[in-house]
Amino acid sequence: MLKYNLLQHTWIKTLTTNRWPLLIARAVALGGFVFAILAGIIGTPVGNHNFAIVAVWIAWWAALMLVIVPFLGRSWCAVCPIPMPGEWLQNGAVLGPIQDKNKRKKFRRFPKIFRNIWLQNVAFTLLALFSAVILTRPSVTAWVLLGMILIAAGLSLVYERRAFCRHLCPVGGFIGLYSQLAPVELRVIDTQVCKAHTEKSCYQGSENGFGCPWNIYPGGMISGKSVNTNCGLCMECLRTCDYDNIALNLRAFGADIQPQNKIKLDEAYKAFIMLGSALVYSAVMLGPWGSLKNAAYQVGTLPWFGYAVALLAFTWVLLPVSFYLITQIANRLNPTSQSPRQNFEAYASALLPLGLAAWVAFSFSFVFANISYLWPVLSDPFGWGWNLFQTAGVAWTPIFSSQVPALQVLVLIGGLIWSGNTTQKIAIDRNASRQTWPVMAFIFAVTLLLIWLFVA
């Protein structure tokens, strides 16, 4: 498959291996993060006039779902401010290693039972249950952000590397999974070099840098065999590799979604949680059902408990169980030696394109409607009557309102075709092409439901 190593360009290589550009980007991101927390706590409680809500849930979310994840994969994780304080405390440095690697403090490994993304699935679901409040109340957003940064720092002081990002971050879980679709990857150039290199400095660290903060062995990141899920694109391995054996490749979209790259059960569940929550969010935030919206907002009341139970049942039980039954039917149609769980996991990866398309389409609806809140908020981030950039008076103006439904349908159809194509590849790979149809029917039904929610 065609790849293009961006590190051939000296300026890109300098930009990625030199520690200063990334450090400044991280510090700016952390500064913005702290500013958002401050605005959330002491600024106006009116969400659409508070920097915390507009910058985080409109501007950042738009950038993340419409640009970063689809095109740049996990690159947000490289500058994400949440793990930064903890990582700096863990390393005893903010720039690069200042101690010999053998003298660096040793930290515990994360408990084996949690070395997966189940905790991330739970964390995302918890946020989803309270999302109507988190997305609209600046103070709640601020405390959630502060809580995340404190938890990440606490974990960094006990467990090695980025335990929070790998196993607990509610956002990292889906960014990682959907980054399989992105057209960028970090991979080794020559696997033989890595095999012969006994120091494994990319994992163990060296005087040039820290061992992979993401706790993966970069030497094992092989094009066509490995996936992006756990690589945070922090570029640390570029600095520690003694043989300049790492490439930053441009590649085809979705290059990781190959039949041989199966996803695990926790990741399969993440796919259902994301797809299910996109459906539920669309119904709550875009649908005409006032009582559903009220239930989602009235946290702690009986209607909210009903909403919570419905969301949990839909995302954790109904969707996965339906899909499990579909894969069982597919296996009846065209039997293979695969176990039911293997069938379930294999075909679940086909839901990734549709899941990302659903989130892109959902994001269109509120990002274009609300992005104009950004200009007043930049001038008056706390809602205190400032007018720093003379944009405080810019009126709320939805953009592309008439084009959004068409865009959403186009994106969803794109996701449908991509997921269908992936399904077909998986079925053909196991010599069971007739298995395609039940899975395709499921994907088609979910797409129709999404289109109905967005457009009807």
Where do contacts with another protein occur on this chain (CB under 8 A)? 19-20, 23-24, 27-28, 30-32, 34-35, 38, 44-46, 48-50, 88, 93-96, 98, 376, 381-385
Nearest residue to 63 (alpha-carbon basis) of 20, 32, 37, 18 = 32
Smallest gap from residue 371 Cβ to another protein (A): 17
Q: Given phi > 0 = left and psi -120 to 50 = alpha, else beta, which region is 226?
A: beta
Task: Give the shortest CB-79-to-another protein separation in angstroms.
Answer: 12
- The least CB distance from residue 296 to another protein, in Å, is 18
Nearer residue to another protein within complex by CB, 34 or 286 = 34
Q: Which is nearer to another protein, 51 or 281 (CB)?
A: 51
Give, to the nearest 10 degrees, the angle between helix 118-129 and helix 170-178. 120
Dihedral of CA 39/371/57/455: which sign? positive
* CB closer to another protein, 32 vs 287: 32
Minimum Å distance from CB 252 to another protein? 37
- Pick 83 or 438: Cβ nearer another protein: 83
**What CA–CA distance (Å, rounded) separates 449 from 276?**
11
Rounded to the nearest whole angstrom, what is the least distance from the CB of residue 40 to another protein in the complex? Answer: 12
Residues 6+ apart with CB under 8 A from 290: none
Residue 391 beta carbon to another protein: minimum distance, rounded to whole angstroms: 13
Nearer to another protein, 41 or 310 (CB): 41
Least CB distance from residue 448 to another protein, whole Å? 38
Between 38 and 63, CB nearer to another protein:
38
300 or 385: CB nearest another protein: 385
Q: CB-based contacts of 273: which residues, under 8 Å, 6+ apart?
A: 121, 124, 125, 128, 315, 316
Nearer to another protein, 80 or 194 (CB): 80
Nearer to another protein, 104 or 200 (CB): 104
CA distance 456 to 449: 10
Q: How far is the CB of 43 from another protein (least distance, A)?
A: 9
Considering the complex, what minimum distance in angstroms separates the CB of residue 229 from another protein?
29
